[in-house]
Amino acid sequence: MNVDPKDPFGERRELGSEVRLQIAGAELVVRSSDRVLIDLAVEAFGSLPRFATEGAVPDLRLQLTLNDREKSWQNKPPPPTPGSGDGLLCGVVDSGNYAIVDPENRRAIVSVSRAMLHHPHLARYELIEFAVLTLAGRALSLVPLHGACVGLGETGCLLVGATGAGKSTLCLLALSGGLQVLSEDSVFVSPRDLSVFGMPNFLHLRPDALGLLDPGPVRDRVSDSPTIHRRSGVEKFAYDYREHCQWKSPLRPKLGATVFLSEKIAEASSALRPLEATDELITRLRSEQPYAAGLPEWSEFSRKISAVRCFELRRTESPGVAVEQLRTMLAGLSGSK
């Protein structure tokens, strides 16, 4: 990689491209020296619904830099290695590809090499999205949860389960069944009032999910979606469902229920089972969310979420049954407010 002796750190690099996006109720100001990186940020965060917040929310800033590093990898780049120091958080692939997050000053920088652009999904997902989601969660004092969230009206339902538990497929069926899909993978919750902030952009679906859909527009859109290869080797459709959602912004959904996805089999009439023990809810959540459970906001969050309804959703012969039971549950919670 060539280094300019007059500007070895790239401090005087022109950042001529700028775009303003919405994330977790805040405005994200993205600046870059290269339009292709701006496009990756827009691919991730463009056209998201606006979430309502209480009071003023500070802007978040992201700087994206493209460098000339042409190193290639035998197959694909290694995953980022996380690290920290003096309030900074980072994810490092190599000397040309890394993200540094500064939550206190509400800013992050991401460096991407030209070699990494041969893997645009990884550049977007593992560097740009990592930086922005980490920044939003920390800078806005939100609880970041690995899970999905579907909603009806102003009530959201957190779906929690291990990788492969069926969250993405359930979200697809919920979307085709008329429910809101607020997030498939990353859910942010305000510990103060359980307001939900999602990132409704892509559903990542195995090809066999098509067999669960009736012929029609949604199935056609999924089958026409680009495919990605996960590090596990699994191939999935990356279905961008933003343009097909009719968001009524600004959104302000609040968590009304937590649902744990189970591998157990049940009859259709008893697929959604209430869990009454508060201690069981908190213990299971802590086990499922070890990163969030270690953050300062967890204490207040766990107190608040222990007051909402909790369920276990078991598998049935017809996956559509789950969506109908979630709809009925959400309608009941919405009507009770």
The lowest-confidence range among 5-9, 30-34, 132-136 is 5-9
The lowest-confidence range among 114-123, 156-165, 321-330 is 156-165
Please report whether residue 10 resides in a domain.
no
Domain end point (choices 83, 108, 140): 140
Domain end point (choices 119, 140, 161): 140
Please check whether residues 33 and 153 belong to one and the same domain.
Answer: no
Question: Could you tell me what percent of the chain has a pLDDT over 90?
Answer: 65
Please check whether residues 134 and 229 belong to one and the same domain.
Answer: no
Does residue 239 register a pLDDT over 70? yes
Sign of the C-alpha dihedral computed for residues 217, 219, 223 and 229 taken in this order: positive
Residue range 182-205: average pLDDT?
Answer: 93
Name the more confident of 320 and 257.
257
Count how many domains the chain has. Answer: 2
Please check whether residues 151 and 134 belong to one and the same domain.
Answer: no
Please check whether residues 67 and 173 belong to one and the same domain.
Answer: no
Domain end point (choices 107, 140, 173): 140
The lowest-confidence range among 78-82, 179-183, 211-215 is 211-215
Please check whether residues 287 and 319 belong to one and the same domain.
Answer: yes
Please check whether residues 88 and 199 belong to one and the same domain.
Answer: no
Please report whether residue 159 resides in a domain.
yes
pLDDT number for residue 147: 93
pLDDT number for residue 69: 79
Q: What is the CATH number of the domain that holds 151?
A: 3.40.50
Look up the domain containing 149 and give its range.
144-335
Please check whether residues 38 and 116 belong to one and the same domain.
Answer: yes
Please check whether residues 266 and 164 belong to one and the same domain.
Answer: yes
Please report whether residue 12 resides in a domain.
no
Please report whether residue 259 resides in a domain.
yes
Please report whether residue 6 resides in a domain.
no
Please check whether residues 133 and 148 belong to one and the same domain.
Answer: no
Please check whether residues 279 and 328 belong to one and the same domain.
Answer: yes
pLDDT number for residue 2: 65
Please report whether residue 4 resides in a domain.
no
pLDDT number for residue 337: 53
pLDDT-based confidence at residue 162 (cuts at 50, 70, 90): confident
Please check whether residues 90 and 225 belong to one and the same domain.
Answer: no
Does residue 13 register a pLDDT over 80? no
